[in-house]
């Protein structure tokens, strides 16, 4: 087995997809990364968390992260390439996710802004009224460097898993008795990625709404008020261990102007639709990070010698490469399935089709499985480098740091498992999944898997605790099974 496809995201995509659109763009992009981008990405990671300049010399609050100029060049290139605008022009997410894969091999952090910009544009286009769309949508879809960025801010200090209980941001109408769609939001967002974005979609609770998940609504919040002042404040940037090419901060909303998207009582659906987009992105980026870690390990193992030959030629290590490459194909197959399903359902609105529920299950499986694969692969990549793997001078330990963030963003493993359990219980999404897998699986293996799942789901209400406790083992098996079966129909 040759490992050459590990060296380039483009070659990997060519190999694992039956047909690969957008080849010219992908090729040009890869050439740019090799010529300029890799070194920029390394420098941005090395520089760590940038300073946040809160005031200019005149005392005006500006809240500007002090990135080196080339950061902006790296970032804007992806927008120009079409990660966001193509979704609308092509009425398909395929190009978007292909570009995310290709770019995140070189810099996973920068894919966060792209994803959350898409996650802003989509609900605006689906649920924003005509005035909002006219005012804000074109900015997000520009094809040049004047493009505006989006952001999606949900999580607050008490945690992101239980949004229903933990969102304490309150929205009240700007004018009490008016029906005008203008609100003032007050609250703190604790992990606000891409702070500084010109637009954000923000989860908040209209004054008086229920204090559970039904009381949430989604608002569009611009960076600048109508009167030209800052509309939200960045309290500080987080000192994250990785994804340093996206500034994540704490955002203070203080009577910040916002515009309701959709109806106030369907907010939670809109929020979940936004999360769908980033969850799938997270899965695909995880695969790309795993590939990158493997490519670094490969480059090292080819050159490093021990006992008279390159360490790649030692059977134990070669076996690990073989197995991990299979794992990479499987992880990709699962993530790509999520992409394709999302592409079918992203325009749906509640009430959703069965296809949507199948998508949700696959997205949970993919997010969970690929993040775990990425973290384990990056850890292994460090080990292949031996002691060089833990020295910051070498770009090796970075991929582990990046992978760990992917494992945690967009819901940790616990979240995926429990939400996956729910969509199986309530919507029987697993049955749709087994139908989907059937053509490529043997009847026996299908049946075995299915009975494990059904047994779990069949645990009665008196055994809820037991059901949750056992869920991890079953969910893991199901993810592995789905990934393996799906990869069978990918070309190799």
* Residues between 291 and 310 that touch a copy of itself (CB under 8 A): 299-300, 303-308
Write down the least CB distance from residue 180 to a copy of itself, Å: 29
Residue 364 touching a copy of itself (CB under 8 A): no
Which CB, 43 or 440, lies closer to a copy of itself? Answer: 43
156 phi, psi to nearest 5 deg: -120, -175
Write down the least CB distance from residue 291 to a copy of itself, Å: 18
Contact 136, 200 (CB under 8 A): no
Residue 46 touching a copy of itself (CB under 8 A): yes
Q: How many Cβ atoms sit within 10 Å of the Cβ of residue 297? A: 29
Rounded to whole angstroms, how far apart are CA atoms 170 and 187? 6
Write down the least CB distance from residue 62 to a copy of itself, Å: 11
Contact 312, 306 (CB under 8 A): no
Which CB, 382 or 423, lies closer to a copy of itself? Answer: 382
Residue 445 touching a copy of itself (CB under 8 A): no
Write down the least CB distance from residue 472 to a copy of itself, Å: 6
Residue 458 touching a copy of itself (CB under 8 A): no
Contact 86, 118 (CB under 8 A): no
Which CB, 412 or 450, lies closer to a copy of itself? Answer: 412
Rounded to whole angstroms, how far apart are CA atoms 334 and 141? 29
Write down the least CB distance from residue 469 to a copy of itself, Å: 4
Q: Which helix (H) or strand (E) holds 226?
A: none
Q: How many Cβ atoms sit within 10 Å of the Cβ of residue 334? A: 28
Helix (H, G, I), strand (E, B) or coil at 166: helix
Q: What is the pattern of x (binds a copy of itself, CB under 8 A) and - over residues 381-400?
A: -xxxxxxxxxxxxx--x--x
- Part of the chain binding a copy of itself (CB under 8 A), chosen from 34-42, 100-108, 267-275, 362-370: 34-42
Q: What angle do CA 58, 237, 75 make, to 5 degrees?
A: 90
Which CB, 16 or 471, lies closer to a copy of itself? Answer: 471
- Part of the chain binding a copy of itself (CB under 8 A), chosen from 2-10, 38-46, 324-332, 339-347: 38-46
Residue 57 touching a copy of itself (CB under 8 A): yes
Residue 246 touching a copy of itself (CB under 8 A): no
Sign of the CA dihedral with 289 first, then 290, 293, and 298 last: negative
- Of residues 61 through 100, those in contact with a copy of itself by CB under 8 A are 66-70
Give residues with Cβ within 8 angstroms of 25, minimum separation 6: 81, 82, 99
Query: How many residues sit in the footprint of a copy of itself (CB under 8 A)?
Result: 92
Q: Which of 53, 229, 263, 347 binds a copy of itself (CB under 8 A)?
A: 53
Residue 58 touching a copy of itself (CB under 8 A): yes
Q: Which of 145, 180, 425, 466 binds a copy of itself (CB under 8 A)?
A: 466
Beta-strand relationship, 152-153 and 199-206:
parallel
Can you tell me which residue has the tokens 């193509």?
Answer: 86
Write down the least CB distance from residue 57 to a copy of itself, Å: 6
Q: How many Cβ atoms sit within 10 Å of the Cβ of residue 204? A: 31
- Of residues 167 through 226, those in contact with a copy of itself by CB under 8 A are 190-191
Q: Which of 141, 216, 242, 437 binds a copy of itself (CB under 8 A)?
A: 242
User: Residue length, the chain?
Assistant: 492
Sign of the CA dihedral with 289 first, then 118, 70, and 66 last: negative
H-helix segments, 110-220 = 111-127, 130-140, 163-166
């Amino acid at each position: 087995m040759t490992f050459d496809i590990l060296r380039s995201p483009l070659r990997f995509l060519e190999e694992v997809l039956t047909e690969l659109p957008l080849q010219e763009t992908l090729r040009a992009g890869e050439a740019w990364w090799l010529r300029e981008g890799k070194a920029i990405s390394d420098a941005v990671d090395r520089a760590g968390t940038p300073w946040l300049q809160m005031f200019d010399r005149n005392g005006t609050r500006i809240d500007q992260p002090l990135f080196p100029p080339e950061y902006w060049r790296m970032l804007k290139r992806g927008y120009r390439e079409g990660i966001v605008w193509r979704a609308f022009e092509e009425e398909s997410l395929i190009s978007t996710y292909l570009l995310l894969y290709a770019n995140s091999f070189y810099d996973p952090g920068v894919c966060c802004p792209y994803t959350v910009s898409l996650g802003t544009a989509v609900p605006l286009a689906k649920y924003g009224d005509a005035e909002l769309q006219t005012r804000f949508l074109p900015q997000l879809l520009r094809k040049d460097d004047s493009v505006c960025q989006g952001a999606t801010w949900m999580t607050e200090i008490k945690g992101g898993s239980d949004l229903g209980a933990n969102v304490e941001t309150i929205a009240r109408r700007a004018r009490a008795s008016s029906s005008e769609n203008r609100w003032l939001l007050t609250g703190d967002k604790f992990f606000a990625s891409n702070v500084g974005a010109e637009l954000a979609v923000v989860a908040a609770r209209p004054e008086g709404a229920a204090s559970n998940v039904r009381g949430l609504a989604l608002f569009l919040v611009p960076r600048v008020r109508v009167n030209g002042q800052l509309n939200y404040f960045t309290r500080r940037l987080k000192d994250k261990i990785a994804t340093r090419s996206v500034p994540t901060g704490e955002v203070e909303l203080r009577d910040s102007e916002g515009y309701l998207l959709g109806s106030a009582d369907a907010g939670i659906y809109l929020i979940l639709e936004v999360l769908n987009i980033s969850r799938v992105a997270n899965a695909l980026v995880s695969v790309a990070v795993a590939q990158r870690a493997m490519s670094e390990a490969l480059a090292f193992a080819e050159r490093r010698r021990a006992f008279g030959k390159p360490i790649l030629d030692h059977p134990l290590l070669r076996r690990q490469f073989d197995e991990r490459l299979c794992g990479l194909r499987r992880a990709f197959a699962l993530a790509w399935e999520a992409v394709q399903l999302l592409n079918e359902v992203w325009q749906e609105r509640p009430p959703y089709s069965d296809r949507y529920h199948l998508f949700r299950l696959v997205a949970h499986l993919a997010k969970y499985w690929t993040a775990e694969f990425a973290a384990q692969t990056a850890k292994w990549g460090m080990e292949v480098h031996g002691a060089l793997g833990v020295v910051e001078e070498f770009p090796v330990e970075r991929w582990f740091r990046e992978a760990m963030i992917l494992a945690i963003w967009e819901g940790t493993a616990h979240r995926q498992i429990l939400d996956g359990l729910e969509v199986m219980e309530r919507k029987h999404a697993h049955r749709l999944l087994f139908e989907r897998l059937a053509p490529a699986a043997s009847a026996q293996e299908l049946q075995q898997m299915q009975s494990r799942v059904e047994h779990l789901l069949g645990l009665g209400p008196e055994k809820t605790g037991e059901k949750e406790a056992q869920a991890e083992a079953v969910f893991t098996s199901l993810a592995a099974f789905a990934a393996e079966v799906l990869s069978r129909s990918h070309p190799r």
